[in-house]
């Protein structure tokens, strides 16, 4: 007898999402920054344990955790969610908005917010775990549920692998993950091959010669130098990268001095750039170094700038064979709400390290969280860019149908393999 279709299986094992909505709101109100996800990780572990049948390992690569559910012979499937929040002051106006102040990476107090919907990722993964356990008579194999720390710093996946993740859990046959995006809620987007760019972050220290603000002629002002560097950097992508290629360069932070009447002796620029091809990445790195050093020379600086890599994320590539199977399953389940050819995005992830470090194929997709009524209204007005996006203080996806879509997508993917 043929196995029932996945849609029929999921309809027979639906879970009450009320618990997961409450959990989502808890996570949202209590965000924890990268490498500080202690309470978040503990909560995930407690809820996973309450489902029964999981062997749970905690404190992997920091606050990472993984649960193993063995259900007879068969493939080993790893489903992943990330846990960390961002140093952003929330302005959504939600009744469960974060008012948390946390310690930032620089050791200073900073507001914290789940502005990238990692709280939705966690809630959906736990709901999917419950669903798949209810359906355990319909599949055979090993389910690995993984909660990853420090995705926003691009270090969490590698930290878990380096800390012996695969000494604790079986090496999976397939690795699956997903991300909420500023797309219409209920929609799912996917593509074979490269779906997300790689990302690199740099900290650039420019050295000047400080002094009294009233006597700039006796100094080399690093603030002025930094502004020239920033302006010049903006021409790299527009004037040096082929317009058919994918590349972005953003300066996210400039710091120089502490008060108005003192010219500092150094300035710091923190920048981020994205690329898909290795050749373009190399071109961007070379151009950044060239611009920085040339502007230092033009300002008469006697000390070489210090350029440090602070983050390095690989591009995310969906395995072709997995993509073919997922496209068929997603299209059948989500019908007109599924897009199998979304554009490559310059948003980046470290998710794929969980698979590529072991030579295991991966697949990653996006799903929407924007209120359908708002999306449709802005679409009619031609003003979709007005909608707040990931990493913005006003990003506030609707809980429903986002949660059900994310839960179903994980279950459909897991059952397909």
- 8 A C-beta contact, residue 329 and residue 416: yes
- 8 A C-beta contact, residue 369 and residue 187: no
Predicted local distance difference test score (pLDDT) of residue 101: 97
In DSSP terms, 209 is beta-bridged to 220
**pLDDT 10s digits, 265-300:** 999 999 999 999 999 999 999 999 999 999 999 999
Predicted local distance difference test score (pLDDT) of residue 2: 52
What does the DSSP 8-state code read for residue 83? -
Residue 3 has pLDDT above 70, yes or no: no
- 8 A C-beta contact, residue 93 and residue 158: no
Q: Give the model's confidence band at 40: pLDDT under 50 very low, under 70 low, under 90 confident, else very high.
A: very high
For residues 5 and 317, the model is more confident at 317
Residue 373 has pLDDT above 60, yes or no: yes
Instruction: Report the chain's mean pLDDT, rounded to a whole number.
Output: 96
**pLDDT 10s digits, 374-391:** 999 999 999 999 999 999
Burial 78-117, CB ≥16 within 10 A → b, else e: bbbbbbbbbbbebebeeeeebebebeeeeeeebbbbbbbb
Residue 123 has pLDDT above 80, yes or no: yes
Predicted local distance difference test score (pLDDT) of residue 106: 84
Q: Give the model's confidence band at 105: pLDDT under 50 very low, under 70 low, under 90 confident, else very high.
A: confident
CB atoms within 10 A of CB 298: 11
Predicted local distance difference test score (pLDDT) of residue 232: 97
Predicted local distance difference test score (pLDDT) of residue 1: 40
How many helices (H) and strands (E) the chain has is answered by: 12, 18
Predicted local distance difference test score (pLDDT) of residue 28: 98
**pLDDT 10s digits, 172-215:** 999 999 999 999 999 999 999 999 999 999 999 999 999 999 99
Q: Which residues contact 385 (CB under 8 A, 6 or more apart)?
A: none
**pLDDT 10s digits, 402-417:** 999 999 999 999 999 9
Predicted local distance difference test score (pLDDT) of residue 302: 86
DSSP alpha helix (H) spans, 164-307: 165-168, 222-240, 278-298
| Cα–Cα dist 393/44, whole Å | 25
């Amino acid at each position: 007898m043929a196995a029932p279709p996945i849609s029929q299986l999921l309809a027979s094992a639906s879970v009450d999402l009320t618990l997961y909505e409450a959990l989502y709101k808890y996570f949202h109100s209590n965000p924890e920054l990268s490498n500080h996800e202690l309470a978040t990780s503990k909560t995930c572990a407690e809820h996973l344990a309450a489902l029964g049948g999981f062997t749970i390992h905690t404190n992997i690569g920091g606050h990472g955790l993984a649960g193993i559910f063995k259900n007879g012979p068969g493939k080993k499937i790893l489903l992943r969610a990330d846990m960390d929040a961002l140093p952003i002051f929330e302005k959504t106006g939600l009744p469960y908005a974060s008012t948390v102040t946390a310690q930032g990476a620089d050791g200073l107090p900073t507001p914290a917010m789940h502005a990238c919907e990692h709280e939705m990722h966690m809630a959906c993964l736990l709901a999917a775990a419950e669903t798949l356990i209810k359906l355990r008579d319909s599949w055979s194999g090993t389910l690995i549920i993984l909660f990853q720390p420090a995705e926003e710093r691009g270090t969490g996946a590698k930290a878990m692998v380096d800390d012996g993740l695969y000494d604790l859990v079986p090496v999976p046959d397939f690795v699956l993950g997903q991300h909420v995006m500023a797309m219409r809620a209920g929609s799912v987007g996917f593509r074979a091959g490269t779906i997300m760019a790689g990302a690199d972050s740099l900290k650039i220290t420019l050295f000047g010669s400080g002094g009294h603000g009233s006597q700039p002629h006796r100094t080399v002002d690093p603030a002025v130098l930094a502004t020239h560097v920033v302006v010049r950097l903006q021409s790299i992508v527009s004037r040096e990268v082929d317009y058919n290629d994918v590349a972005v360069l953003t300066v996210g932070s400039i710091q120089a001095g502490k008060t108005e009447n003192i010219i500092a002796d150094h300035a710091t620029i923190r920048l981020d750039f994205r690329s898909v091809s290795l050749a373009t990445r190399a071109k961007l790195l070379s151009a950044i170094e060239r611009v920085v050093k040339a502007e230092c020379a033009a300002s008469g600086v006697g000390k070489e700038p210090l350029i440090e890599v602070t983050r390095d994320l690989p591009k995310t590539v969906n395995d072709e064979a997995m993509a073919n199977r997922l496209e068929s399953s997603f299209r059948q389940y989500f019908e007109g709400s599924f897009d199998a050819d979304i554009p490559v995005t310059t948003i980046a992830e470290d998710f794929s390290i969980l698979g590529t470090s072991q030579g295991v194929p991966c697949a990653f997709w996006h799903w929407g969280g924007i209120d359908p009524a708002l999306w449709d209204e802005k679409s009619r007005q031609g003003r979709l860019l007005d909608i707040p996006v990931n990493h913005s203080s006003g990003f506030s996806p609707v809980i429903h149908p986002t949660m059900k879509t994310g839960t179903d997508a994980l279950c459909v993917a897991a059952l397909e393999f």
